[in-house]
Structure 1
Amino acid sequence: MKRTWTIIGVADVAHSFNWYQALFGQPKSAPAHEFFGQVLDGDGTVLLCLHQWGSHDHPSLASPGDSQPGNGLLLFFRVDDFDAALVRARGLVSSLEEEPSVNPSTGTREFALRDPDGYYVMVSAWD
């Protein structure tokens, strides 16, 4: 694993984006999209991702009122050994939540599974 990207569900991405920038003492800027923004460190390291509630089909980011395990949290891991990670994942669960595919927004391969507590985990190729 290279690093993790913590993604949290928010009602207003721009507002939360500016709030976190203020908290971290960063210059004010705008998120990349109305529905998604990455708060970056000065060297480009992703500190936190903000995802609008209900935008797209991520089950754990559907609604802030949903009380299912993991609601509001999408654990997103980028790995440099995607094929090996897929084999390991298949050994851990009876079925994947999302079979491997190429994300049209990022152009990277990814798949999803649930952890033992029901959290939704997305694994994405580093390349």
Structure 2
Amino acid sequence: MHPQPLIAVEDVEKTSSWYQTMLGLSSGHGGKEYEQLMFNQHMVLQLHQWQAHEHPNIGSPNTAIGNGVLLWFESSQFDEIVQKLQNHQVEILEGPKYNANAHHREVWFKDPNGYTLVVATPYGDV
């Protein structure tokens, strides 16, 4: 088993482009209503347009986005991602910092939809 998180967004194409630029993901599906974002030919995130396909349990764009949910990505390209975030003036919530409990580096930030993301080096990296 492996997770296939899905987030609901207003603009799938714009969000897909942002994730491809910031995290180096690629499009595995493409489209205005649904997208699969890939890394090394593995799906790591799904994007779904809020109103598409009548999914009543997907949530509502009128409530708080992502309360209690973090999209956590482990990456060996940590420094490159931090540089991209800075170059594109993405607001950093925390970091880059050393996490003494996990012995790795991490950076916390928001995507354009308001979801909180964490990119971290592998556990025990530092």
TM-score after normalising by structure 2: 0.45
**Structure with bigger RCO (C-alpha 8 Å, 6+ apart):** 1
> Under a length normalisation based on structure 1, what TM-score does the superposition of the two structures give?
0.45
